[in-house]
Structure 1
Amino acid sequence: MDEVIEPNNNKPNEPAPKQQNKQEINRLLSQEKIINAAQQEFITHGYKGATVQSIADRAELPKANVLYYFKNKENIYHAVLQKTLDMWDDGIGDIDINDGPRVALEKFINSKIDMSFANPSASKIYAMEIIQGAPQLNEYARTYQRKWVREKAKIFQHWIDNGEMADVDPENLIYLIWSTTQHYADFETQILTIKNQREYEQEDIDKVKSFLLDFILRGCKLK
């Protein structure tokens, strides 16, 4: 019987699958390295002060490599902001009406605290963008974020109307959770200076969670 030869579906100049996978991994690693370096440059020097060269230097990559992946500084900044938004969307999850107010608030607060301590740079970039008038996030704030807040406020209002929690303003409750949890990231330097520490310890994170959960749940008459 003649040997059956499997057809080669790869185009003549197309890399083999293993080579493609390696190239994809290298591409993702390089982009992640650039985004992480860009976060620090934008935090330190602001959008105007940061340069593609300074980002490349911090990432320890040639400037040409950075421009190959992102074309210009504006695209790098968009990628940094998008990473933050994606992280928050994945981490916060959804406030489920079936959870009830106590469980929903515990999940919401815990996830926001975890993200603030694990990714302070992302929170600082977002805060700087908002303080500057949200030039790159205006559409996001007007559409997705506005819709999210209104939808979640309706769920809190449902629980309030059913007598399941205190009669508090739902939107201001959401703003309170945002501000108190992100404070530990945005004002990290101030807090660590006051505490005379170089970095947060796990004990600090546990204390923040315990305090904010107790304070907010008591305020909502859920304890």
Structure 2
Amino acid sequence: MLSLFLPASCAQILVTCAYKSLCQQALLSGNDVVLQCDHLQAYWYFSSFQGEAPFLVSSLPNIKKLPGGSLQLNKPQPSQTGLYRCEDNNTALVVEYEIDFQDVTMLHITHKGLGQNPLQNQSLSLGRKEIIFTHWEPWQDCNRCGVPGERKRLGYCYIQESLENPVPCWLYLGDEKLWSSRLQPEMQVEACLVPCNHSKEIIQPFFTFDISKLGQSTSNMQLTCPLASIYR
């Protein structure tokens, strides 16, 4: 029998944007996310960058509108990269997001303690002197305290033209038929040692998943953590 003990709280990232504004964000596919829209009668529309007309997202099985108006995406895929527009019941804009769901299966992982290096900047041959680079997020908390542990940070693929603001790679490329091994997100890991701060510790309940029979037809098995998130 195999038992998995998992925290009961579900981790998902909340993306926010100012009222009537357009915000760009790069995220990783396969990890739950909520796009904020504070309007009880919100209508969400989606359009990719393949030239299709915007349509109500109620037709997508892994997307759900929350009671307060925000939009929850369960394990979004790279194909769901595009524009998410929230309107009120009078078709007036509340907020809109351009989201690049970068392929988590292409994640380039390095460990500083092993002398592994992240991806280097690279030029892109589209005629506008573009540079592909990794935009790094801050280091996340150490996963243990009082003993040696590890921490990670996520990096997203961005493209920048000379004198222009950088843009997440697949928002920039749109329907451009281009492939490069440099067009991938990153994760960097390093060792850490931090003291314990018991005043900030949170005790969470745990679920137990019991599996009494494991498949015998294959030699490989994949275990998933259904309540986990790469963002923490």
Relative to its length, the structure with more strand (as a share) is 2
Q: Which TM-score tier does this pair reach, normalised by the shorter chain?
A: under 0.3
Compute the TM-score of the two structures, normalised by the length of structure 1: 0.25
State the structure with more CA Rg.
1
Compute the TM-score of the two structures, normalised by the length of structure 2: 0.24
Report which structure shows greater RCO (CA 8 Å, sep ≥6): 2
